[in-house]
Chains A and B, each alone.
Chain A
Amino acid sequence: MSEILVARGLIKSFGDKRVVDGLDLDLGTGSVLGLLGPNGAGKTTTLRMLYGFVEPDAGDIRYDGQLLRAHRDELKGWIGVCTQHDTLDHDFSVEQNLRVYASYFRPKLADLDRRVAELLDAFGLREFAKQPPRQLSGGFQRRLMIARSIVHQPRVLFLDEPTTGLDPAARVDVWRLVAQLRAQGMAIVLTTHYMDEAERLSDAITVLARGKAVARGTPREILGEVLGEHVAVLDVADVDEVALRAWAQARTGNQPARVLEEWQIPLSASQLAAFSETFAHCRFTVRQPTLDDLFLRLAVEPTAPEAA
């Protein structure tokens, strides 16, 4: 699989705050890279640098070996972007949104009518073609956003939290569309908060925290690498918080996460054995870690869990 997108040493600061700090990324043709991380991790800024919205302070971005900053006009034509927020043109109909958006790219599409018809059918938008986007449901507006972002037949597609705010059925619809685009050979970079989405759609995941990549690999590899194989779950009423925190800090190097009335502690097999001995008087359950646990870890820990 050839690399269509390679980024090295990306750095971006806004004022005194370093938002992205020395990030490397690779994306192969026909693959999906998931960018995960809690709010403020630097996902959207990373995406914006990759698609040319903002300039990195340092670092290189190459598409098929060509530097983005040196061949910007041409390479931006290779890129499709579905932004996190609604940027649809509500002054136009669904069909006009596709047509007008195509006018922002060169070279011009040889057969725009055919391309627009193709997208209206593929994304189930045909019956709404003459309606303004505002009259569509959230799920169909998202479909239109994605359809619009590929009207010019890009080679790389950026999807910034494409299912945020959608109901479960609409999310599944978007997943299906993303899978189709991937099958057609499009390279996709996806940011998301949802672990199931990242697991289902991504070939590889990069987890960001405070602007740095803190883990890379498949979802299972990342969970094992960062969190361990197990998560012990205890009722807060059943355990002394001070003792639990002290034990977790001493044995795992991390603090337990509190979720409502539960303590959750990611553990390796040996740590789980030690935990069972120490907290034998407590009732607890053990389950497999999920990306939710990873998010909680990244959110509660003041330092990146690279040493975990």
Chain B
Amino acid sequence: MNPYLRDLADWRTRAVFLRNAQVYLRNWRTAFLPPALEPVVSLLAFGIGLGAYVGAMKWHGQSVDYISYMAPGLVAQTVFATPFFETLYSSYVRMFYQKTWDGLLATQVELRHIVWAEITWASARGVLNATVVCAVLATANALGIVHVHAAWLVALPLIGFFVGWCFAAFGLCFTAIVPSIDHMNFPVFLVGVPLGLISNTYFPIDAHQGWLAAAMHANPIYHLAELYRSMLLGNAPDAHVWWLLGTSVGWLLVFATAAQALVQRRVLAQ
């Protein structure tokens, strides 16, 4: 069996994942608030506020109001940002401040299981938060604020799981190398924010060639946002499905390998 799949399926990865899940369930009321409120604020501020000035947009030949254009991007942004921030901040706190990993490493759990459990849990949190965002969008749709094919909202969070996995592993790479938690500003503002901006989440970028087009096509968030948009606005899913699959799995393999090596170096070389 592939060592990644073996470690992923190992009972120790499951035990650490369940530990994180248990902590989340203890604090679910506070954990629930950001994903529930952020889309409400975004819909009000950008969708209704800014949308009034933007008016209708052209997307794949159809006329779409800005708030409905933005709605799928909100879900894509949540699916990407939640795992990225989870492994940047929460994993760092567990690793450095709470010494949770030190306690785990004194058991039968190995560091590779902790790494897989952290990125899988982070991705699961992305799915959970995206589910809350979808519930908000369903409500907004029922109220006539956005106009989307609401039935697809059920499927969006799970479709994003691989993208979340990929960016959770990416975040953990930084967690393994930053000198202190203050240095997280570098990956957040130099990597996370630009990636979110060049992914058609909140506004379309008309790039068909050059470095920007290449960067967008290599970015799974772009394909996820476009796939979500085609599902919610009634277009048939196109090549973005395959691009999404390829970039997510490809980057996951790269980042997970790097995260394993970097975390090993940081934690075990003390």
Binding site for B on A (CB under 8 A): 14, 51, 53-54, 73, 76-77, 81, 83, 85-92, 96, 100-101, 103-106, 149
Contact = CB atoms under 8 A, between A and B. Distances in A.
A268 to B, nearest CB: 41
> A91, A105, A106: which has the most chain B beta carbons within 10 Å?
A91
Nearest to B16: A104
B15 interface: yes
Given A53-B268, A89-B100, A106-B11, A81 B23 contact: no
A143 to B, nearest CB: 16
A120 B206 CA distance: 65
Q: Which 4 A-B pairs have the closest CB atoms?
A: A87-B103, A81-B106, A104-B107, A91-B23
Contacts of A76: 107-108
B66 to A, nearest CB: 41
B100 A85 contact: no
Contacts of A87: 99-100, 102-103, 106
Contacts of A90: 98
B57 interface: no
Given A14-B269, A104-B109, 8 more contacts: A51-B106, A73-B108, A83-B102, A87-B99, A90-B98, A91-B23, A92-B23, A104-B104
11 contacts: A14-B270, A53-B268, A76-B107, A85-B99, A87-B100, A87-B102, A89-B98, A92-B26, A96-B22, A100-B22, A105-B108
A186 B12 CA distance: 26
A91 to B, nearest CB: 4
Nearest to A14: B269
Question: What's the interface size class on B, roughly?
Answer: 20 to 34
| Interface residue SS majority, chain B | helix
B97 to A, nearest CB: 10
Contacts of B12: 104
A105 B107 contact: yes
B106 A53 contact: yes
Interface in B92-128: 98-100, 102-109
Nearest to A84: B102
Contact of B102 (A14, A77, A85, A149): A85
A104 B102 contact: no
B108 A53 contact: no
A83 B268 contact: no
Given A100-B19, A106-B11, A149 B268 contact: no
A3 B100 CA distance: 32
A28 to B, nearest CB: 22
A70 B270 CA distance: 24
Contacts of B26: 91-92
Contact of A104 (B15, B22, B23, B268): B15
A120 to B, nearest CB: 19
Contacts of A88: 103
A253 B160 CA distance: 71
A83 B26 CA distance: 26
B212 interface: no
Interface in B65-106: 98-100, 102-106
Contacts of B103: 83, 87-89, 101
Nearest to A81: B106
Contacts of B108: 73, 76-77, 104-106
Contact of B106 (A73, A83, A100, A103): A83
Contacts of A100: 19, 22
Interface string B126-143: 000000000000000000
B70 to A, nearest CB: 36
Nearest to B27: A91
Contacts of A105: 107-108
B18 interface: yes
Contacts of B102: 83, 85, 87
B162 to A, nearest CB: 27
> A88, A92, A100, A104: which has the most chain B beta carbons within 10 Å?
A104
Contacts of B268: 53-54
A54 to B, nearest CB: 6
A253 B98 CA distance: 47
